[in-house]
A and B are shown apart, each in its own frame.
Chain A
Amino acid sequence: MSTGTVATFEDSLERLEVGWTHTSVDGLADVLNEVCDEPTVGVELPYDGVELPSWVNTDPTPADLRAANAGITAAGIGIADYGSVVVQGTPDGVEPVSLFADRHVAVLKESDIVPGMPEAFEWLGEEFRTGHSSAIIATGPSATADMGALVKGAHGPKDVHVVILDE
């Protein structure tokens, strides 16, 4: 992956008006603190040496989901051309945590950003054939124009923030 791909990803996020932060493993807790309002729910991140801060509720109930201001999950990959993050459903609840809170905070490794859809689908094909049962290609917040003008936050999050982890 080249820096060009990361720059394209960031440009795409900018265009979508999606906030993003570049940080190191050590800086992650501070960034999350800055971008999340409590109560925050989350699902543990599958990255070496990374743990969610203690103020993140990582074992939410339906009531917690409903009350959460932010939901933190990992993203499998990022797609540079579109500014999309791929969120994979897991038994510990990545899908509901990324869906019910007003803000979705997606954390991904810089090396997991791919240039475009062809690369993304190569990866997805592999994932689906080897057992993953669901993934959402999420691009920006949920939105609708059904009520006469574009409104963000129809059923899902009103706002998305992407955290890119350097290695």
Chain B
Amino acid sequence: MSKAREAKAAKIRQLMETEGDAVGTSTRGFNEGRYESVQTLDDYEGLKSEARAIKEDAIERLPELLDQLRETVEANGGTLYIADDDADANRYIREVCEDKDAERVVKSKSMTSEEIEVNHELEAADIDVVETDLGEWVLQVADDSPSHIVAPAIHKSREAIADLFNETFEPDEPLETAEELTMFAREQLGELIEDADVGMTGANFITADTGTMALVTSEGNARKTAVVPDTHVAVAGVEKIIPTVEDLQPFVELIGKSGTGQDITSYISLLTPPVESPTVDFDDPDTPLTETETDREFHLVLIDNGRMDMRDDDQLRETLYCIRCSACSNVCANFQHVGGHAFGGETYSGGIGTGWEAGVEGLDTAAEFNDLCTGCSRCTTACPVEIDIPWINTVVRDRVNRGEASEVDWLVEGLTPDEEPGGVSLQKRFFGNFETAAKVGSFFAPLSNWASQLSVSRDLMERFLGIDARRELPAFQRETLKDWFDARNSHVENPTRTAVLYPDVYTNHVQVERGKAAVRALEALGVDVVVPDVRSSGRAPLSQGMIATAEDHAHDVYAGLAEHIDDGRDIVVIEPSDLAMFQTEYEKFLPEKSFQRISEASYEVMEYVFGLLENGVDADALATTDSEEVAYHSHCQQRTLGLEGHTEAVLSRLGYDVVTSDVECCGMAGSFGYKSEYYELSVDVGSELQGQFQTDETKHRTVVASGTSCLEQLDSLLRRPSQHPIQLVAPQR
């Protein structure tokens, strides 16, 4: 393994051991909470679209809204400062504190202030800064950094916090329970807040019409921070502005549900500072509040720090719609296992972290963890503002590729049939051009399989391509699906429909049996099947960030399928990740009309079978059973497309007794598990699926899975074989 890969693998391994359990327990809890909580909404999808529309509009009109906000804030008696970057913001904030002769600033949690590292600036000016969010305070005491955007100390267990407090503060009685720790922190922080001179908060949203900021919290520390001292500084990115108070509504309903799975957080503070509440001056404990001189001062500091450039960037712009709810981190299987210390940059972490870091810090920082996004797409339906997070990560990956110093260009340039510049790493090129490897592999099979298994080959593959020697390689079939299909004579009398079975790379070269099964099943149901010669979908290069190559595939695939669509044929796809290309990513690559045609004509194979059965085709043509027990694992992209249920429905109708896995992801996600730096993480993530299929209820069940990666992962995790569901239901010949 190369040094860099070795180092990355070691870091991931260490974090899985030390922080993985704590992060996993909390994020999974948040995620399950989200599933439950969004069910209480009458129209979850509608609310999300509304939230997105508000953000789209606000970012579009940002300059105008900034002007309006300046007017309202000033009319209210506050000050608005727009800072170009972190240094500018820090200087301004320090000067405000110095003008007040502030000795202590109390802060409530804010990612933007983490981004600019304002604590350093203030501490250097001898101003004491105290984090009042309990999680942030734990990190401050421990001199540690946040690992999650909403729950910053998520990686610390209760025991670790107890040890930390007991060592640092030496309380009379050692602290132990969560209750004791919380009350201890409440007391300590309460005193620190009482004689603070300046309160600093973030702002989740700011409305341009009234200058009202919304703070979403549960602890109440933001309330105290904003109300106790007479000076309030709020720090936020310029993207936090929305037009009106009414526009807050969808966000208030979505943010807690999406993030921690609470219906709503305990407090949503809506403040139009300087607020009318009297200051609470604990230095003067005996003067009634109503007689306290209240001369409040308010400074709103909005930070650009790369955001206006992101706004001009057609690909990164969507990142600005993010409301930092953390749903994309919580749903992410890889994040659940390593947390933000591996899956994060200088400030931001998780799915959308790459977009933020690319925008505010630069590509180098984003590159450090960008590859941890496997593009599984589970986050896209979790995001309350409908951001296509995997796409942003792919774009950043592409840009990183283009900027990367070349490894061995002279070796690959001209040999690989892709559209990429020289910088793309050999590993990425190999996986991105898997179609070529598969063609060669099948042509020389079984020799190629034998040769690739030799230890000397595995060594070379590991050294040059970073393909982990512990992962079993796919075995190429000498006879491809296309060869098999062309060589056989099939004829369906009076077909009800005609379908094109899309020969994806894996089905054509490796998992040929599932392709044959699909042909048999469809023919048995009265469908005339065609297997054309069409290029691979482009999923492989896309997941390596090779966008130009993927786009090239998209055009070829469309060209290859267009005449079939013209003839009214349905496109049936076995591999869900390819179907997802046709139905989502191709929108970026094809003219609108073409995209619509291909996405509307294409079906997942079990979805198609379901449709046929629904339309009255006789199910007895398939392999029925009475109560054969099956353990079924759907596929991430299939679930994102909402197609998991069709397989369950078909299996149930044919008499199978189905148990479905409910893990977010198998952990393999395409080429990810082959890469030596990620192999162990892939196995760790997979262990959850493994666990679900080895309980007393499931361990004897027949295993079926829809995706290639899932099948490979399951094959290596379980002792019993797995197959695609179509193989189970297809007539044997």
Contact = CB atoms under 8 A, between A and B. Distances in A.
Interface range on chain A (Cβ under 8 Å from partner): 35 or more
Contacts of B133: 146
A95 B223 contact: yes
B285 A134 contact: no
B266 A146 contact: no
A89 B275 contact: yes
Given A128-B212, A148-B161, A138 B267 contact: yes
B249 A133 contact: no
Q: Which of A60, A94, A135, A150 is packed against the most chain B CB atoms within 10 Å?
A: A135
Contact of A142 (B161, B210, B218, B263): B218
A96 B132 CA distance: 17
A148 B245 contact: no
Given A93-B290, A124-B270, A133-B273, A146 B138 contact: yes
Contacts, number: 200
B182 A154 contact: yes
B262 to A, nearest CB: 9
B47 to A, nearest CB: 10
Given A62-B285, A91-B290, A139 B249 contact: no
Nearest to B179: A151
Interface in A113-144: 117-118, 120-122, 124-125, 128-129, 132-144
B495 interface: no
Contact of B219 (A89, A132, A155): A155
Contacts of B177: 149
Given A121-B246, A147-B178, A62 B253 contact: no
B316 interface: no
A142 B219 contact: yes
Interface in B669-710: none
A99 interface: yes
B270 A84 contact: no
Interface stretch (B183-191, B527-535, B544-552, B716-724): B183-191
A90 B267 contact: no
B190 A117 contact: no
B125 to A, nearest CB: 27
Contacts of A154: 134, 182, 185-186, 218-221
B569 to A, nearest CB: 46
A28 to B, nearest CB: 23
Interface string A78-109: 00011010000111111110011000000000
B268 interface: yes
Interface string B322-349: 0000000000000000000000000000
Interface of A: 59-63, 65-66, 81-82, 84, 89-96, 99-100, 117-118, 120-122, 124-125, 128-129, 132-151, 153-157
Given A134-B270, A153-B186, 20 more contacts: A61-B286, A62-B281, A62-B282, A95-B275, A96-B227, A120-B249, A121-B245, A125-B246, A128-B212, A135-B270, A136-B223, A137-B268, A139-B265, A142-B218, A143-B266, A144-B219, A147-B138, A154-B134, A154-B185, A154-B218
8 contacts: A61-B287, A61-B289, A96-B277, A118-B249, A125-B245, A136-B267, A139-B265, A147-B185
